[in-house]
Structure 1
Amino acid sequence: MSSSPQAPPHVTTTDADTRPSLTVLSGFWPTATFAIARALLAVDESLLLVRHDLTGIADGAVRRMVRSSSGVVEDEQVKLRHGCVSCTLREDVLPTLVRLARNHPGRDLVLMLPEVVEPEAVAAACAHCLVDGAPITDLIRVDSYVTVLDAEHLLDGLASTDDLAALGIRAAADDDRALADVVVRQIEYADTLVLWGQSREGAYDTSRLSVLLQRMAPWATHLHVDGDLVDASTLTRQLRHTHRHRPDTPGVLARGLQGYTLGTHEPEPDCGVVSAVFRARRPFHPQRLHDVLEDVNAEMIRSRGHLWLASQPDTVVAWEFAGGGLAMGSLGLWLVSLPEDRWEHVDDQRRLAAALDWDPYYGDRHQHLVFIGLDTDPVELHRTLAACLLTDAELADGDETWRTYPDPFAGCFPLVVEEPADSPTAIEGAQPA
């Protein structure tokens, strides 16, 4: 069982905290997620479960349901100013949690998210949206973000090439996310992962799914619950009052930059699962990298990280692959390319990581990619990526020459302005549309 990231020394959450505890449940397969919620309700009669049905969100309406172990407490239709998940969080989810905490003191809360909502969006709203002029954490202690995965459908979800719009379940009119993107983000942000049930392929495949989740989120606590044999009391002890949520842990812990924690290098197959980390200082040649994009991801379930190109040496390039689709974009400038008076606006963890890994020639520029797949050859993967790096002769030409290379990525990564971590731009960018 993996442990969560170490708590910063100034976190003051203790068992003496009298605020109601909030457990956030997410998961793309609501049958499994609701089964976990019901098990928690069965043990604690005072617990309140909050759910929102987004079926009518396109028309600016959502259905809010609050229930306890004894039955339905509330069931109401809510009209919104705009039909989107962000509006639902701001206008109803957070105010409902605050109202329940005030009207039912001493009763803990469980928030079960709709299947298309990512827990990171909720964490951003809790951190930055005020209710009655105050953050909700004045009244509520966010205890844990738990993601529930259905063993019968997980691998299909991770491999799916469908997007939410085609499935008719997108969270807003401009929601262009893919199903696999939602699932991996629910996995990677959680501090606790619950694998529910058994794979239809049998015990070996169930074990393989457990290993896959360990590789995708090695920082999380991992549990497996047999859907036919649920010990609700044990499950409650494992999921509630765990203090696993660390609000100061960066939301991009799993997806590049900040403290660079992207995954573990486990090149030996375990149930066929391989996790391979590729790190290098030299820049990639843009054309050679472009030529192998399809090959390096052909057998992957997930790859993520950041890199730099010789032709665009100032830009941190993000890399995210899931569900057969690779997304690349700009994460801003490398610190070595930033004026020093702008370093104070950069996240502390990123500056610390850069200082510990600073190179006299390259500065903080480096390649850091993690590949997680089934029956993957990590040696061949490393050989393919290493062949895309600049040769000694190309390196000696210097960056003025590198910038003139033919670049299939030209214009793909417009530089973004570095913002303070608590700026409105940074906050809005952390939330889905």
Structure 2
Amino acid sequence: MKDMTDPRSRVTVLAGFSPAATAAAARVLLLADPGLVLLSHDLSAVREGVVRRTVRDSARVVENVETRLVHGCVSCTLREDVLPALVRLARERPGRDLLLALPPAVEPEALAAACNASPAVNESVRFDSYVTVVEAASFLDDLGSRERLPDRGLHSSGNDRRRVADVVSRQVEFADTLLVWDRPGNDAFTNGRVDSLLHRLAPWAAHVRVGSTPSIDVTGLAASLRHSGRHDPGVPGILGRAISGFPIGIHDPEGEYGVNAMLFRSRRPFHPARLHDALAEVAGGALRGRGQAWIASQPDTVIGWESAGGGIVLGGLGRWLASVPAERWPEVHTLRRLAADLDWDPYYGDRATALSFVGLGLDVPALTRRLTSCLLDDAELATGEDGWRALPDPFAGLLAPAAPTPTPAD
């Protein structure tokens, strides 16, 4: 729980891909607490460099201001308007809690990263909970969609090619609290399927459901969402979880309501060409895939893996500790070092693949066989690192780590 003597304003963050559901949740929280202040942004004109900021409480709109940005994008909006507004509101209204409602295309992890990097924000506010509001009626379609944000007019810039399913997945996975906004009359099977998907996408989150009846317990809902102290800034984002020793999913091949999940783990590296040839099949077989991997031709690099909406994104996350000189290990986050120590292999060091997949009727044996077929065989493994680096590599030059070693703050 949070230190109750901390004088900083507490912030509850509302994220979600459905603007209507997120706005409804915000209204309920304002009704429950007349002292609460809501900060929200309209990004419908952000590609032209225009953002509209609104500040209100339960009784009135306090601010409704149009702001022009140097560049129209989500990161610029966070840096130039959202963070300064949070700091200002906290200083103008000491002791009053804040509610921040994010636009649908904004991912809460991006906000958290920007806030963690801002001393002014950390001095002024503390983040109590990240709540993702899920509209039950549209969640299944959004999670299974192959559309990109520009297809729905939600892209923040011309080069914003994120998939709808990517954004929806990340909003759910980063949450410490999931609020399912239901409607009266929704069938039990669909509700069960939504709940099952959410549990497998974010088993670490608390789950709350409202809206299945015509009335809402405003006080009870507010109590379940606010002042929970559920947000832990020390827990990494989804791609950093496995490497820091946190769970990335559950292994449940049987599942329920047609929803199942699997974990794939291996010490052996992937053969780069065989993995490359299998990517489309693997990405298309699950609604969501995530985690870390390593390929033999690039044995120094931790590879982040994300798949959703039929697409897949691989990227360098830094170096494996096995490839980092021991004298540089103190630069690495303590949790990362502890996780490596607990699972150190005499031959591979901390190198390991850990992937989580969630799907509807996911063929777990077939997917396991396909991924296993992409690993080095015994003869390839016996050639050692010199032989591995010489393998034909379709990923050459694409997955290099951004820094010698990841260095998040302790």
Question: Is this a same-fold pair by TM over 0.5?
Answer: yes
**Which of 110, 123, 127 is the matching residue for 1:138?**
123
SS at match of 2:299: strand
* 1:365 matched to 2:354: no
Q: Quick check: 1:208–1:271 contact (8 Å CA) kept in 2?
A: yes
SS at match of 1:305: strand
Aligned residues: 408
Counting aligned pairs with the same residue, the percent is: 51
1:233-272 aligned at under 5 Å gives the runs 233-252=219-238, 256-272=242-258
CA pair 124-402 structure 1, distance change in 2 beyond 3 A: closer
Task: Report the Cα offset of residue 309 of structure 1.
Answer: 1.6
Q: Quick check: 2:11–2:129 contact (8 Å CA) kept in 1?
A: yes
**Which of 50, 59, 77 is the matching residue for 1:61?**
50
CA pair 49-336 structure 1, distance change in 2 beyond 3 A: same
Moved more, 350-359 or 86-95: 86-95
* 1:165 matched to 2:150: yes
SS at match of 2:313: strand
Flag as ranges the 4+ runs of structure 1 deviating above 3 A.
198-201, 252-256
TM-score (norm 2): 0.93
Task: Report the Cα offset of residue 201 of structure 1.
Answer: 6.7
Render the CA deviation track for 1:115-150: whole Å, top value 9, x for unaligned. 1111112212222224xxxx2232322111111011
Match of 1:3 in 2: none
CA pair 422-314 structure 1, distance change in 2 beyond 3 A: closer
Q: Quick check: 1:24–1:144 contact (8 Å CA) kept in 2?
A: yes
* 1:383 matched to 2:372: no
Match of 1:123 in 2: 112
Q: Which runs of 5+ in 1 are unaligned?
A: 1-6, 8-12, 424-433
Render the CA deviation track for 1:349-388: whole Å, top value 9, x for unaligned. 2211111111111111111111111111222222222222
Match of 1:304 in 2: 290
CA distance in 2, matches of 1:421, 1:397: 32
SS at match of 1:421: coil
**Which of 12, 16, 22 is the matching residue for 1:27?**
16
CA distance in 1, matches of 2:67, 2:279: 45
Q: Quick check: 1:151–1:199 contact (8 Å CA) kept in 2?
A: no
Match of 2:265 in 1: 279
CA pair 125-315 structure 1, distance change in 2 beyond 3 A: closer
Match of 2:97 in 1: 108
Q: Quick check: 1:299–1:374 contact (8 Å CA) kept in 2?
A: no
Q: Quick check: 1:252–1:258 contact (8 Å CA) kept in 2?
A: no
CA distance in 1, matches of 2:96, 2:121: 15
1:221-240 aligned at under 5 Å gives the runs 221-226=206-211, 228-240=214-226
CA distance in 2, matches of 1:288, 1:347: 33
Render the CA deviation track for 1:260-300: whole Å, top value 9, x for unaligned. 53111122221111110011111222233233223333331
* 1:179 matched to 2:179: no
CA distance in 2, matches of 1:299, 1:372: 9
Q: Which runs of 5+ in 2 are unaligned?
A: none
SS at match of 2:189: helix
